Amino acid sequence: MNSYRKELWFDTTRRREFINITPQVEQCLVESGIQEGLLLCNAMHITASVFINDDESGLHQDFEAWLEKLAPEKPYAQYRHNGYEDNADAHLKRSVMGREVVVAVTEGKLDFGPWEQIFYGEFDGKRRKRVLVKIIGE
Ligand code: ZN
């Protein structure tokens, strides 16, 4: 069995952002040379997510509006976590959107269903943060 590990770094300009990272993840798979196995991709920060969904801008606006209803960023004082920080909403949004994805690797490709793409979801951005890609197989 072979294994591959890489960290992908992101530096968002906004507090919240969704980035399609499928091309970078596919590049990792090519570099790994693995044909059959499993690929794990996870956020390495507790205020960011990795998730799979459709790359459709209306849907991304819907996610933003829905998450703001569930866990509004402001007022900051509504959260007990916001003593020294102001990112309680980001922790909650990350929990809803998930930490990681696992994708089957078949014949050297990500074995996606229709329209599936991998996204990095940033909820407390404007600083460098990373995603782990781990691939095992042969
Ligand atoms: Zn925090």
Looking at the DSSP assignment, which residues form a beta bridge with residue 10? 129
Q: Around ion ligand 1, which residues have CB less than 5 A away?
A: 85, 87
Which pLDDT score, from 0 to 100, does residue 2 have? Answer: 97
Q: In what order do the strands lie in the sheet with 37-43?
A: 2-11, 128-137, 37-43, 100-106, 109-110
Kindly state the average pLDDT of the residues 35-42.
Answer: 98
Helical H segments across the chain, by residue range: 22-32, 57-70, 88-97
Ligand 1 centroid to residue 31 C-alpha, Å: 35
Looking at the DSSP assignment, which residues form a beta bridge with residue 20? 119
| C-alpha to C-alpha distance for 63 and 102, rounded to whole angstroms | 21
Domains and CATH numbers, the chain: 2-137 (2.60.120.460)
| C-alpha to C-alpha distance for 21 and 117, rounded to whole angstroms | 8
Average per-residue pLDDT for the chain: 98
Phi, psi of 70 (to 5 degrees): -70, -45
Residue 19 pLDDT class (50, 70, 90 cuts): very high
The string of pLDDT tens digits covering residues 67-91 is 999 999 999 999 999 999 999 999 9
| C-alpha to C-alpha distance for 94 and 108, rounded to whole angstroms | 30
Ligand 1 centroid to residue 44 C-alpha, Å: 14
pTM (2 d.p.): 0.96
